[in-house]
Amino acid sequence: MLAVRDLTFSYHRQSEELFGGLSHDFTPGALTAVTGPSGRGKSTLLYVLGLMLTPSRGHVLLDGEAVTRLPDAERSRLRARNIGFVFQDSALDASRKVLDSVIEPALYAGWPVAAAKQRGRELLDEMGLAHRTEHRPGEISGGQAQRVAVCRALITDPRVVLADEPTGNLDRDNAAAVLHALGHASSHERRTVLIATHDPFVLDHVDEVLQL
């Protein structure tokens, strides 16, 4: 489903090159950690896989098709329909209600509002947050906000979920809840789920590890 071939990346012509010609197949149904020392490009790899950055050389493959050098509009369409993102700080709009934040990617992907809200409420209920749909981010805890972010990543039923240090700001109980949700998304729903992390707690709970 998701793979890279001979991948390298650099931010500027004179800057250090990352990944060194990385080739890797990511396993559907597995929770995969992307790890390595600081500066090795864990987060950058997720942005390349998410079609938000273009590699210097090599390709990202989705279902065997090279997708990194498609026109911007086509990459945006693929990203909206196939890829969900979770960021370290949840990245919720402080002015919007929780449900509105969750359904935003679905609306961008062209879903009807009613269908998006129904799916959003289902996800929030599964995360134990049904009572928070009308709250704003400042009215919920950091752990709850990150679970909202997972709901937002899953709203379009994406085949790929990319999580950048999703437990970095959480205590162990909330980190475990987020990992459980991501693990369920991979093993039970056969998604390809990647977590960029250096947290040993996360590494103890994943199925596979890609060391950069």
The predicted-structure confidence for 10-53, as pLDDT tens digits, reads as follows: 988 777 889 989 999 999 889 999 999 888 899 999 999 999 99
- Alpha carbons 120 and 106: distance in angstroms, whole number: 9
Expressed as residue numbers, the domain containing 64 is 2-12+22-211
17 located within any domain: no
What is the DSSP secondary structure assignment for residue 205, as one 8-state letter?
T
Give the burial class of 168: count Cβ atoms within 10 A of its Cβ; 0-12 exposed, 13-18 middle, 19 or more buried.
middle
Tokens, residue 201:
């707690």
Place of tokens 């449900």: 99
- pTM greater than the 0.85 cutoff: yes
* Domain containing residue 175: CATH number: 3.40.50.300
Model confidence over 148-190: pLDDT tens digits? 999 999 999 899 999 998 888 888 888 888 898 888 888 777 8
Q: Which residues pair with 194 in a beta bridge?
A: 32, 162
Total number of domains constituting the chain: 1
- Mean pLDDT of the region 77-89: 88
Tokens, residue 113:
């509002």
